[in-house]
Every structure is written in C-alpha cells, then in structure tokens.
Chain A
Amino acid sequence: MQNQQQAEKKIILVGNPNVGKSVVFNTLTGSYTTVSNYPGTSVEVSRGQCQISDESFLVLDTPGMYSLLPITEEERVARRILLEESPYVVVHVVDARNIERMLPMTLQLIEAGLPVMLLVNIMDEAERVGMQIDITLLQEKLEIPVIGGALGRSKRGLSELREAISNYQVRKTTFVYATDLEKDIRKISALMQGDYILSKRCLALMLLQRDEEIAQRVQDRENSHYVKVENAVNETVFARRVDLHLRISLERKRICKGLLDDVVTLQEGGRPAFAERFSNWTMNPWTGIPLLLLVLYFGIYQFVGVFGAGTIVDFLEGSVFEKHLNPWMIGWSNQYIPWYWLNELLVGEYGLFTLGVRYAVAIILPIVGTFFIAFAVIEDSGYFPRLAMLVDRVFKRIGLNGRAVIPMVLGFGCDTMATVVTRTLESTRERVIATLLLALAIPCSAQMGVILGLLSGVPGALMVWLACMVGVFLLVGFLAAQVVPGERPMFYMEIPPMRLPQLQNVIVKTLTRMQWYFLEIFPLFMIASVLLWAGKLSGALQWLVEVFNPIMRLLGLPGEASTAFILGFFRRDFGAAGLYDLQTEGLLDPVQLTVAAVTLTLFVPCVAQFLVMQKERGWRTALMIFFVVTALAFSVGWSLNQFLLMTGLL
C-alpha cells in the first residue's frame, strides 16, 4: 500500500484560505477521498484519487497558507507537505479578484524550484465586478501553465486543468530582485553545499527571514559547514535589520505588478452585490446581533435541538434500540451468558451495549451529526470571521480574542472536540482560558437537549438558567483574564466573501468530523461504561453517592440527586437525564430543579472532556481546572438556592 502510494504521481493543491481549494479538490477527485490529521498535528489533510486519461494521480489538499514562511500550525503543515511529499505538480489556486495580492506566493513557489502551475479560480465573480484577466498573456510572462476557471458553481476550466496536469512539464524560471538583494541571496546560497528539495535561492531567503525549521534542516544537511552559512546569514540580517522583511515583500509586489501589466484590465463594475450588503449587515452590531440570534435559533435550536435531539433521537433510541435491539441483545445474553458479572458488563444497567453503544449511536450520533452539518454550513458561508469580528471586544475582556468564537460555538456541539480545537488559538494563555470556559459554562448539545426539555415546564426557570450561564461565563472569563499570565491577544483576520455553501463540501466535512468523533470518543464511552459497571459491582458507586449526599442537602436538593451528579461526570447529559427522572417522580420543586440544572451544567465536564483536557493541557492545568470548576459549580448552586429562596422568584 505504502509503496503503491509512493509510486503514484502526486498533485498538491496550495493557496490562501477561501480561494475554493477544497471545491477544486472535490471536483478533481469525486468522492474517493480520505481526510486525516497530518502526522503529529491536529491539522486535517484530505487525500483523494484522480483519473486523467488512464493515469491515476493522488491529490492532496493542503491547509490554507499565505506565504511559504509559516506562522500558524496550518501553514507549517502545508509547507511540510510541499517539502516531504515530492509532488509531480503543485497547483497554486488563487482568487481572480485578488490575483495581485496572491501572485507573490506563486513567485515564492516558482522560486523554490517546485513544479508549479497556476489556477486562477473564481473568474466568474471577477468578471462580475468588471475585471478581465488575459490568461494567455499571464502564462507567457510567468512561463508556467496558467488556467482560468470557476470551479465553484460551474465546472468552467476543469477540462483545461486536467489536460494541463496530464501534460505538465517542469520548466525552470527565475525572477530577479533588486541588485543588492540578489547579491546577498547569491552570497548565502553559494555557501550551501548539500542537496535540497527546495532551491538554494529560496532557502537563502528563508534563512534571511529567520525561519527556524529551515535553519534546522540546513544545519542537519550542512553539518560542520553550517557555521559559515550561519555567519553570513547573521551578517546580512544585521546589515539589513531595518527593513529586510518589508524589502522582500515589496520586491515581490513590484515583480507582480510588472507581471500583471496588461494582464488585468478593470472596468467600473456594477453596484455592490447582495452578498456584499448582507455581509455588512452581519458586521453591524445593530443588524448583526439579531442575525446571530436567528442563526442560533434556526441553526442550533430548531435543527440540532428539535430535529436532531428530538425527532431523530426519539426514533433511534425509542424505537430502534428500546423496542428492537436492546431486548434482542438482553435476551441473547441471558440465554448464553450464565455469569452475572459478564452479563452485567454487556447488557446490564451500565452495560457496554445497553449503555455504551446505545448512548453513542442513538443519542450522540444524531445530535452531534446534525450539529456538525449546521456548523459546516455556517463555516462554509464565511460567517465565522464576521462573528469573530463582532464579538472581539467582548472576548478581549475575558482574555480571548474574536477567533476563539469558533471553538466556543463548536463547544455547543461537543465540548470535547472544542477542547481539541482550542489548539488553533495562538497563545497558551488563550488556550487555558478557553479550556476553562468550555469546561464550565458551555453546555454541549447532548446536555442542552435534556436541560431544555427539563426546564421548559417551569416558567422562568430557563431564563434563570440562561442568565446564570451567561453571567458565569463572563465573570469567570473576566477573572481568568486577570489571573492567567501571558501576553494580551491581538485580533486580525481576513474576512472572506460570503458564499453559498456547497452541498458536497458540507457532506465531506460533516462525515470527516463524525469519523473523528467516533474514533476518538467512542472508546471513551466504552471506558465510562466499564468504570460505572465496576463501580456498581464493587459498591464504590454507592459509596460515592453517599459522600455526595450532604453536599446535595447543602444546595437544598434531595439526596437522590447525587446519583445524577456522579453519572453526569461519565455522560454529561446522563446527569441531566437523572434529574429528569427525579422530576417526573415529583421529587423536585421548581427552585430545586433550577438549582440542580445550573449546578449540573457548570459541574465538571464528562470524563471524555477531562481526558482530552489532560492530553492537551497536561495534568497540572487539567486538575486545576477540574477543581476550580467543581468549586465554582457548587458555590454558584448554593448562592442561587439562597437567592431564589430569599426572593421567591420561582
């Protein structure tokens, strides 16, 4: 398998975010794709097969990158793919409207000695704003194959692209910088003696821009000779300390301007499209906040809450499992397994099948699945950067920046996955604060479904619960921002144009995330089942319940509630469901119900989230967050109880 893959010619897609790279990928490969994390990272890379005139190619879609010099983890991965995958051809995808801004990276790729071709995508939208691009002339000037296309809505340019890939021939071209810069580049590249995948010219430039990863690679290759290179680099960097980065960027811009002379012609375009006006509405607080509420109401509440957690769960859990699968499994087990303990482990109250599998498949799958669909639609429409911009000021107060809105929203689907995604935040400080807030005040979709059902019967309870969550989120965030050390976050983001999400993209993304979810989280449910089973058989569970009883009474709750809290740790919604049982038995009055729901939502996340917290942040931070969250949950619960009893609000 490995050998076969290596023998296959590789097509690597690169480009800025939001240029329609993944649409190009899906159009080239059809449905034969796999998405996996790049080894050792959390960055997703898609691979797929593509047939062009009897020849089979392997296509790789890299994460968005702005420059060959990486800053984010995504960019590092994208570059590593270019360095390590020995491509047959690298297709640089650019947005036609922004060709002037994106062409400098084409230069970098050519300069690196990679087999590049350029796909000028989204030509249709460029033409709509009155922009004409002479593709033939650009190809002549660049001396690499250039294809114009619009692979989003139509398949314009697809056959040309396939043909150009299959006939691709490597041609070496170089672009010349200003003489003084050229002299420095030559001086350093001449000192390197080893063989490299990337051109020495490009390596020299990256060394001059202090790229540590490249420096390491060059050092490994040059061994003792590296000292000379390093000295030359240091000397030049010092001599050009004032403006080296800027100089290089400006030189590239100058070259690109020359290349685009006569290639791009502009006519005054029509009036701003609807998408642009809509985009402005999303960013104006007066219209943006109502729009956000609409998105939350329809996207999350109606689609995930009512449809996913209601209709589908009722069907899968109520009919499929309760009526058919479970009785059949229990019957089978009772017939063939005589040992009580094993029977309990498989189909008992906390059995692997009756609890673990049923829970994962019948409850979590539909909720998380519908959530991931909604999330992918919102993501592909380009709404998140706008939302990030809208909330940035508020998020700054809680020690985060607008970017953190993405893991936070994801947390409403699954806090465990959101905790993994906090990796994309830039500083450790932001990651710790985001992890804490996710653990504390963001209820996952499974939990929210039950809580909403639980509290909807008591007028006012839902409002109190909501106020508590928002209040705790902001207050704890604010305090954490004062306490957690580290630099203050900065916010900058490109705002991509608003687009209609493509069905195929949404499906691929959803399936990928669900696959990840099953591989990572499913085993944890199994572990939780086993732990509960062992606890029940050994009596440890009963003991723990009794330990919790006095705490429950302190909150004004019946002792029975402690079972819900302990189970809640193993399954966030299970705790809430336990409350549901208590309520139907009439053991909880409205105040008790509200206090219990608030405390339970704030209380320590499920075991899966704790394990991920430990993996991502280490034992020390994870345990600290665990204790802080537990203490906060019970003290807020206690205060709320006192407050409600005193005011008689409910």
Chain B
Amino acid sequence: MKVSEKAEEILESLWIATVEGGENAAHFDTLGIGHDDEGLSELSGLAFVEIHGERVHLRKEGREEARMTVRRHRLAERLMMDILDIKDASADARACEFEHLLHHGVDTKICTLLNHPTTCPHGKPIPPGTCCEQARQEGEVGVVALTELKAGEKGEIAYLAASDVSKMHKMMSMGVLPGSNLEVTRTFPSYIFKVGYSEFAVDGELASEIFVRKA
C-alpha cells in the first residue's frame, strides 16, 4: 500500500502542521495544494485523511504512514549532511528526492548506519522506528565517536573518518587501527586513550573522527 510521492509530501506537511504544530487540521494553503490534487484524493481514498471544506484532517489510519514519511525525510537529511557531507541549501532539496527511495527496509539500514539518530540536522525529532526500539531494548550503543566515551570506558575502533589523509595515515602507522581495542583514560584537557600498552593524546577534533564500538 505504498503511496505516491505527491501523497507522501502531503502527509509530511500534514504531520508537521498537526502532530508537531498542535493544530487539529491543516489548511490547503499550508499544504500548498488545491481541491483537485491527485495526492489528496489518493489519501482520502485510502481513508488516511478527511477533508472538511478547505481543511485537511489526519485520520488515525493515516498516522503511521505520515510518521514514517517524516522519519524517512529526516533520516535522508542526516544522511546528506553527516555522511555525504552536502551541507548547503541543496541538501534539503536532495533529501526530498532521496526520502522516497527509503522503503522496504532501506530506512532501517540507514537508521542503523547513522546509529539511530533522534533529531534531524535542524533539531526536529525523528520519529523512532522499530529498529530504534529494538536497539534501545537490547542496550546497543552502536558506533560512537571517541568523544562520547568517558574516562575508563573501553571499546573497539570501528573506523577512522578521515578529514586529512596524512594524519589518519599517521594514526594508522602508530597502531590506531580498526579492530584494535582502546581504553579512554582521560577526556580533559585532551583525550588520552590506550591501545595495548601505548598511550596517545589527541585533541577533540581528531577524537571526533575516531569511531568506536563501545564495549
């Protein structure tokens, strides 16, 4: 029962206006549509929405679909900005195109890759999916930056997010490699961690580029 892209856009705006905005319904102007909109008739056909005059109500039956649409959009935004490093105005437009592809479990994969983010880059909440709930129940912390660890915590290096190739290379030749176990011994004034019997000091910037699977 996959809805069309147009219908998804309407659901998304409707969710933002009603559930997040606190209105009971959204006006056609807010949604940017008219009476004869195809997406709208598709949604009312599915009984996801009700139309009263020029105002659209989100029905209980449409809530889940709307929630997931918003989730996909915000996950797409995170993916654009955090991983693909597209940070300008085009990021939002691309996220809009991209979100429609995140069906059939792709959203779950991306959510896991991003370590179940709770907010979009603009600070709005990302509705949690089943994968997030499951991870929370199992107490999984997933992969986090070194900066998230407290002194005394241990973990396994998952990957190095290189911003400067030669510095990453230096870290690798010093033995800071994916698969190595590390223990953070100090987080202030700089980060100190142990790999084997060696200790390394890095600043916050570099520490945020070392990603660790918490033990």
- A288 to chain B minimum Cβ distance, whole angstroms, is 9
Q: Does A470 contact B (CB under 8 A)?
A: no
Whether B201 and A389, one on each chain, are in contact in the complex, defined by CB atoms closer than 8 angstroms, is yes
Closest A residue, CB atoms, query B193: A495
Residues in chain B within 8 A of chain A (CB atoms)? 160, 164-175, 177-179, 185-186, 188-190, 192, 195-203, 205-206
Q: Which residues of B contact A572 (CB under 8 A)?
A: none
- B113 to chain A minimum Cβ distance, whole angstroms, is 16
Closest A residue, CB atoms, query B173: A67
Known: A401-B203, A490-B206. A285 touches B171 (CB 8 A): no
A293 to B103, CA, bound (A): 62
Q: Does A314 contact B (CB under 8 A)?
A: no
Contact with B along A492-531 (1 / 0, CB 8 A): 1111010000000000000000000000000000000000
Whether A495 and B200, one on each chain, are in contact in the complex, defined by CB atoms closer than 8 angstroms, is yes
Known: A69-B169, A245-B169, A492-B170. A98 touches B175 (CB 8 A): yes
Known: A101-B175, A250-B177, A392-B190. A494 touches B196 (CB 8 A): no
Known: A249-B177, A490-B206. A97 touches B197 (CB 8 A): yes
- A455 to chain B minimum Cβ distance, whole angstroms, is 32
State the 8 A-B residue pairs at the shortest beta-carbon distance, nearest first. Answer: A101-B175, A67-B173, A97-B197, A495-B199, A491-B203, A389-B201, A66-B173, A492-B202
Q: Which residues of B contact A102 (CB under 8 A)?
A: 175
Contact with B along A37-77 (1 / 0, CB 8 A): 00000000000000000000000000000110101000000
- A241 to chain B minimum Cβ distance, whole angstroms, is 11
Closest B residue, CB atoms, query A210: B165
Contact residue among A250, A388, A391, A490 (Cβ-Cβ distance under 8 Å from B167): A490
Contact residue among B179, B188, B198 (Cβ-Cβ distance under 8 Å from A494): B198
Closest B residue, CB atoms, query A101: B175
A104 to B185, CA, bound (A): 26
Other A-B pairs, 15, CB within 8 Å; known A245-B165, A249-B172: A71-B169, A98-B196, A98-B197, A101-B175, A105-B173, A209-B169, A245-B172, A253-B179, A393-B189, A401-B203, A490-B205, A492-B167, A492-B201, A492-B206, A495-B192
Q: Does A283 contact B (CB under 8 A)?
A: yes
Closest A residue, CB atoms, query B185: A280
Contact with B along A266-283 (1 / 0, CB 8 A): 000000000000011001
Known: A98-B197, A129-B197. A283 touches B203 (CB 8 A): no
Known: A249-B172, A250-B179, A495-B192. A98 touches B198 (CB 8 A): yes
- B179 to chain A minimum Cβ distance, whole angstroms, is 7
A401 to B205, CA, bound (A): 12
A609 to B150, CA, bound (A): 45
